Amino acid sequence: MPQGGVDSDESARDAALREMDEEIGVAAKLVEVLDETEDWLYYDFPSELKRRMGGPYLGQRQKWFALRFKGSDNDVRLDKHTPEFDAWRWAPLETVPRLIVPFKRPVYEVIATRFAQWTKV
């Protein structure tokens, strides 16, 4: 689930596609945008993480997109840019909240529910 910031000259959708390419090496032409959250979702960083990070970091505000991948497993290239991940795997959407760190879990539960319709297509 690539994540990142939105640059001042781009839309949230464009940022999502850019981050996908930067983090997992998948080009925008290999996905179809199916849906997006109407609102932004938030989570707070735990106190210990805030202390380690320093600075003004409190949490994240995110807009999520459901994408259909039209490529092959070989199109996922973690080494295309500076690696941010060392491994990847496919997982059913409904299992993803159990795989994420606890402080992000409520957001992933919302996403799993909101985008569940696309798992049946």
Largest pairwise CA distance in the chain: 43
For residue 111, which amino acid is it? I
> Do residues 76 and 88 lie in contact, with contact meaning Cβ atoms separated by under 8 Å?
yes
Structure confidence at residue 121 (pLDDT): 67
What does the pLDDT read at residue 113? 97
Model pLDDT, residue 15: 95
- Please give the model's pTM, rounded to 2 decimal places: 0.88
Q: Could you read off the pLDDT of 67-107 as tens digits, one per residue?
A: 999 999 999 999 998 888 899 999 999 999 999 999 999 99
CATH architecture of 12-87: Alpha-Beta Complex (3.90)
> Residue holding tokens 């957001």?
107
So what's the pLDDT on residue 97? 97
